[in-house]
Every structure is written in structure tokens, then in C-alpha cells.
Structure 1
Amino acid sequence: MMQNDTQMRMSELAEQSLIGKHALVTGGGSGIGLAIARALLKQGVKVTITGRTEGRLNEALQQLENEAATAGVGATVMAVVMDVSDAESVRQGFAQARANMGEIDILINNAGQAGSAPFLKTSVEHWQQMLSVNLTGCFLCSQEALSAMIKSGWGRIINVASTAALKGYAYVAAYCAAKHGVLGLTRALAVEVAQKGVTVNAVCPGFTETDIVQEAIRNIVEKTGRSEAEARTELASANPQKRLIQPQEVADTVLWLCQPSSAAQNGQAIAIAGGEVM
């Protein structure tokens, strides 16, 4: 009887944890995506990181494996080269991930790209690029992952949006439009799958210490002649805490949304911005 009780308790704990789940993280080679992958691995999740740049992905993969070895924990992680804006690349990337680690239980749509231009100087090509990477990528990846989630009766889709999904910023109309679209997609899909054991949420970081922000800082320096420190201060000024968000802060929120105990969180847009958006 004691052995049966122990087995039942272990089974209950497994159901309440993420151990053995398979997560795919787009844009997982750096910044927020890498921080999310790291956080999931620490919870016993099998992780596939994807991105367009093989060298960066391999560096991230080596880093994650080394960290796991140093911590003395087993980590199951792989890297897949994939362009989220290309339907065939997404199909092949997901097929490769499934072949190695099974169906996707958790999808983190993190891949994104930002570019700035005055509205009247925004080209159609720039507009389409922002939509393709930031919005269409979420659509394509979610379509690839959702069927298996519905079949198993459990799944998590988390879209890394931005405060640009919740408000407007000058000179990034295309980016804001795309991120607002991500939030619309999040809410519509969340309602559609609400009774199927799948939740769909968005996290909306403010200016975060990532490559995208570094590029924004370089642009400010080049176009205005300000120093890097002045440019950084300008970006941080939108946050009432007067600082940039750290990738780990975003990862912690994503990890919470992944938990089985967060099943009531659905269709939400959680701002991680020190009070910039309330």
C-alpha cells in the first residue's frame, strides 16, 4: 500500500510540473529567447531553440549545455535553424524538432525584428518585413504546434510581444502594427482553444537589454550625435523605474505562464515594464 501511495504521489507531482515537456523557443540564440530556454531547462523541460543564424544558435547551445554540466543537471536541448517568416522553413524546423524530441507541448514565439523609420519614409518592403517576422511568424509556428496540443489536451503558447503591442511609439509604426497584431492573434486564439486544455498568452516587455535595444542605441547615436550613455538613458526614461528590463525578468514571467498551475491565465497581455503601461 505504501508503495502504491508513493507512486500515486509521484504521478501527481509529475502532472503538476513541467518535467519531460518539450518546448520550442524561436529566436532562442540570444537575449530573451536564450533566457527563456535556460529557465525551462532548469525545470526539466526538453528545449529546442531555433533561429536563422546557425553560428549563434550553436554558441547558445554550447552555453546551455556547459551551464547544465556545471550545475550537475541533465539537460536535453537541441538547435534548429529556422526562419519563422518562411512557411516551408517552419514546417521543416518543427518536423526536425518533433523527430528528435516528440511533439511540442510549449511554444514560445519569441523571434522578432525591429526597425525604425518616419511613417512617410516607411517603405512597403520594411512594412512587410515587420509583419512577416513579428506577426506571420507567430501564426505559422502556432499552426504547426497547436494540433498536437489539442490532441493531448494540454499546451502552452506564449507570444513575446512588446509594450509596442499596448501603446504607440513614434517612428516604429510598422513594428507597433505588427505587435498589436500579435496581441489580437493571442486573444482570438485563446478564446478558440479555451476549452481544450491549451492557453495562449502574451508577455509585453518594455525596452529590454537585448540586441534589438543595442541596435536602437546605435541608431540614436548615429542619427542624433548623442553618446551611448545618453541614448541608453533616453530609452530607459519610458520606464518609471528608469532602467532597462533584463531578459531574466521576462523569462521568469514566461516560466510562470507555462506552469500547469497557471491554467486560468488565458488571453492575457502581461506588461513587464516597470509601470510604463498600466
Structure 2
Amino acid sequence: MDDIDPIAIVTGAGRGIGRAVAVRLSREGYKLALTSRNESELRETADLCQGETMVIPADITSAEAIETLFDSVEDAWGAAEVLVANAGSGFAAPIHKTTDAQWASMLDLNLTAPFRCIRRAVPNMVAAKRGRIVVVASVAAKQGEPYISAYTASKHGILGVVRSAAAELAKTGVTVNAVCPGYVDTPMTAQTVSEIVSRTGRTADDARSALEAKQANGRLVTADEVADAVWACVANGAINGQGINVDGGGLQS
């Protein structure tokens, strides 16, 4: 990964983990193609990055949008050497109240969209004999937790894709890994806190404390700590097929 101005694509780059990953990659000399639904958030991320960026607002659950994303990057700069598939979301509901639409929404965003991005990125990476694919998954990719059956299924699924792709590509110079955070201090966790407040009547502080208490080190993970793990997967070609836990030590593997 020693070319001048290497190229990376980061999905879900408007805030939280995606923003931290984009900033980290920019500091390491990467040109950044940033995508999410929210253009204003993407531009805020771009302003924080060093070097050249490209802002491409898109709904990553659209197969056509993924093609446009990659085509735009390749037309302007060339093929990406790094893909960080970070876009994702979650929701909580008892399994008997989880609707087909909610189930499909989780699989579309957390499983099918990153699979499509990986599928689109791989041919050029294999042709170049090098590439790094990192999916931001979750500790929910490895263990179940009440009320998040659809989210957990989607994250288990994408970890399976990562492991299979890594085995398939191991001799090509392309690595595929997942980073599996616990509760991270991001807008997504803030949404989880709001849902707990709405469902239980607890205060926001109590709800946040409950999430902190779920982690072995008693605090939320920072977005920068997740970005550091993503960077390790990018920088080290011997890391492949892994689901790297970033949760303060709660889930040991």
C-alpha cells in the first residue's frame, strides 16, 4: 500500500465511526470518497480531512447507487485500494413484534449493502494484486442479545461474508476483515439511549450508564478507538478473515 495518493471509499462517512475512520485515513495519506445519505454531514467530514476528498451522497441500500459510487471514484481517481463498509443502523423490538419490513430493513443496510460493495470492489483489487476491505460490524456479529434479533442476524451474516471472502481471496493480495465494536459513543448509541428512555421511562443518564455497565471496562468505546482498529486492518496485510472485537474486553476471542 505504498503508492502516492492511495484511494479509499468509506460508507456511512457522515458522522460517528465513519467520520473518525475517514479522518484517520486522510492523515495516512489517502484520498477519500465519502458517502452517506446526508450531504451536509459528509461535507463536515470532508472539512476535517486532510488532502483530497470526494463527497457522494447516496442511499447505499440501492444497487444502482453503489454502482454510481464506484464508477464516480474510478472515473475521477482510479480504483479504490481500500473499502471501509461502515454504513449501518439498528433498532430494538421483541422478536414477536419485529415486522417483516423491520427485518428487511436491517438486512438491506447491514448485510446486503456491504456485500454489494465488497462484490463491486473485489475485481479491481484482485487485478491490482492488493486491497483492503474492512466492514464495521458489531459484537452482535458474535453473540445474541435480547430485542435485537434482526440487527444481530444482519451482523452475524456480514461476518460470515467477511470470513468467506477472506478465505477466497487469501492468495490474491486482498484482505477482508471486520471490526466488531461494542457500544460506541456515537449518534447511533445516542439513539439507543433515546429508545431506552422511551421504552422504560428511565432518564437519559441512567440509560447511558446502563450501556456503559454492559462493557467490561465500564465505559463506551470511542469512535477513534474503532478507527484505530480499522487502520490496523488496512496497514497489516497479515490480518485477514478476522472479526476484531473493540469492546473493552467484554467478548474474548
Give the TM-score, by structure 1 length.
Answer: 0.88
**Aligned pairs (5 A) from 1:9-48:** 17=2, 19-48=4-33
The alpha carbon displacement at 1:18 in A equals 6.6
Counterpart CA distance in 2 for 1:22 and 1:136 is: 23
Are 1:163 and 2:148 an aligned pair? Answer: no
The residue aligned with 1:6 is none
Tell me whether 103-112 or 82-91 shows the greater mean CA deviation: 82-91
C-alpha RMSD over aligned residues: 1.1
Q: How does 1:239-258 map to 2 (within 5 A)?
A: 239-258=215-234
1:185 to 161, 168, 177: 161
- In 1, the alpha carbon distance for the partners of 2:137 and 2:61 equals 16
Provide the residue aligned with 2:103 in structure 1.
127
**Equivalent residue number for residue 200 of structure 1:** 176
Aligned to 2:239: 265
In structure 2, the CA distance between the partners of 1:226 and 1:40, relative to structure 1 (3 Å rule), is same
The TM-score normalised by the length of structure 2 is 0.97
Structure 1 residue 172: deviation in Å?
0.6
Q: Is the 8 A contact 2:23 2:48 kept in 1?
A: no
Amino acid at match of 1:54: E
Per the TM alignment, residue 62 of structure 1 is displaced from its structure 2 partner at its CA by 2.6
Paired residues of 1:186 and 1:201 also in contact (CA < 8 A)? yes
Q: Deviations over 1:85-118 (max 9, x none)?
A: 1101110111112222210100000000111111
Alignment equivalent of 1:276, drawn from 239, 250, 253: 250
2:162 aligned counterpart, secondary structure: helix
Cα deviation, 1:27-75, whole Å, max 9, x if unaligned, reads 00100000000000001111111001122212222333xxx4xxxxxx0
Cα separation, 2, equivalents of 1:46 and 1:54:
18
* In structure 1, C-alpha distance between the alignment counterparts of 2:223 and 2:124, rounded to whole Å: 29
Percent identity of paired positions between Structure 1 and Structure 2: 39
**Is residue 18–residue 44 contact of structure 1 (8 Å, CA) maintained in 2?**
no
Contact kept in structure 1, 2:22 and 2:45, CA below 8 Å: no
Structure 1 CA distance for aligned equivalents of residues 178 and 13 of structure 2: 17
| Aligned 8 A contact 1:84 1:140 in 2 | no
Q: CA deviation at 1:277?
A: 0.4
* Letter aligned with residue 204 of structure 1: C
Distance 1:231 1:267 in 2: 34
Q: Secondary structure at the match of 1:25?
A: strand
Residue of structure 2 equivalent to 1:209: 185
Q: Which amino acid aligns with 1:266?
A: N
Aligned to 2:94: 118
Large movers: runs of 4+ above 4 Å = none
* Structure (1 or 2) with the larger CA radius of gyration: 1
Question: Contact 2:8–2:82 at 8 Å: present in 1 too?
Answer: yes
Q: Is the 8 A contact 2:23 2:45 kept in 1?
A: no
User: Alpha carbons of 1:229 and 1:187: their partners in 2 closer, same or farther (altered >3 Å)?
Assistant: same
Partner AA of 1:38 in structure 2: V
Secondary structure of residue in 1 paired with 2:89:
coil
Aligned-pair CA distance for 1:19: 4.6
The answer to whether the 8 Å contact 1:28/1:110 transfers is: yes
Evaluate the alpha carbon distance shift between residue 200 and residue 187 of structure 1 in structure 2; reply closer, same or farther with a 3 A threshold: same
Q: How many Å separate the matches in 1 of 2:199 and 2:184?
A: 21
Structure 2's unaligned 5+ residue stretches are: none
Number of the residue aligned with 1:5: none
Tell me the distance in 2 between the aligned counterparts of 1:242 and 1:18: 41
1:204 and 1:18, CA in 2 relative to 1: closer, same or farther beyond 3 A? farther
Alignment counterpart, residue 176 of structure 1, candidates 117, 139, 152: 152
Aligned-partner SS, 2:125 = helix
Question: In the TM superposition, what whole-angstrom CA distance separates every residue of 1:150-176 from its partner, at most 9, and x where no partner exists?
Answer: 000000000100000011111010000
Structure 1 residue runs without a partner (length 5+): 1-14, 69-74
Count of residues in correspondence between the two structures: 252
What letter corresponds to residue 19 of structure 2 in structure 1? L
